[in-house]
Amino acid sequence: MRNFKKIPNPKFQIPKVIILMGPPGAGKGTQAELLAGKLDLYHLETSKILEEKFQEKARSVVLIDGKKYGVAKERKLWEKGKLCSPEFVAYLTIEKIKELSKSAKGIVFSGSPRTLYEAEKIIPILEKIYGKKNIKVFLLEIPPEETIFRNSHRRICELMRHPILYLKENEKLKRCPLDGSRLIKRGKLDKPETIRVRLKEYKERTYPVIEYLKKRKIKVEKINGSPPPAIVFENILKKLK
d(CA 23, CA 225): 10
d(CA 212, CA 75): 28
Output the smallest distance, CB 177 to Zn ion, in A: 8
Q: Which of 41, 83, 126, 176 binds Zn ion (CB under 5 A)?
A: 176
Q: Which of 58, 61, 72, 160 binds Zn ion (CB under 5 A)?
A: 160
Based on CB atoms, which residue is closest to Zn ion, 113 or 163? 163
Q: Which of 16, 154, 155, 162 binds Zn ion (CB under 5 A)?
A: 162
Q: Which stretch binds Zn ion (CB under 5 A): 6-14, 41-49, 137-145, 151-159?
A: 151-159
Residue type, 69: Y
d(CA 198, CA 201): 5
Q: Is 195 a residue that touches Zn ion (CB under 5 A)? A: no
Based on CB atoms, which residue is closest to Zn ion, 123 or 176? 176
Q: Are 179 and 159 in contact (CB under 8 A)?
A: yes
CA distances from 15 to 132, 138, 196 (A): 10, 13, 34
d(CA 197, CA 192): 9
Based on CB atoms, which residue is closest to Zn ion, 31 or 115? 31
CA distances from 105 to 48, 77, 102, 152, 215 (A): 18, 31, 8, 34, 27
Give the contact letters, 98-137, x = binds to Zn ion (CB under 5 A), - = no.
----------------------------------------
Q: Which stretch binds Zn ion (CB under 5 A): 43-51, 126-134, 155-163, 183-191?
A: 155-163
Q: Which stretch binds Zn ion (CB under 5 A): 63-71, 99-107, 130-138, 171-179?
A: 171-179
Output the smallest distance, CB 164 to Zn ion, in A: 8
Q: Which of 178, 184, 230, 231 binds Zn ion (CB under 5 A)?
A: 178
b/e sequence 102-124, b meaning 16+ C-beta within 10 Å: eeeebbbbbbbbbbbbbbbbbbe
Based on CB atoms, which residue is closest to Zn ion, 101 or 181? 181
Q: Are 81 and 198 in contact (CB under 8 A)?
A: yes
Q: Is 157 a residue that touches Zn ion (CB under 5 A)? A: yes
Residue type, 58: A
d(CA 32, CA 111): 10
Based on CB atoms, which residue is closest to Zn ion, 114 or 162? 162
DSSP for residue 158:
T
Residues making contact with Zn ion (CB under 5 A):
157, 160, 162, 176, 178-179
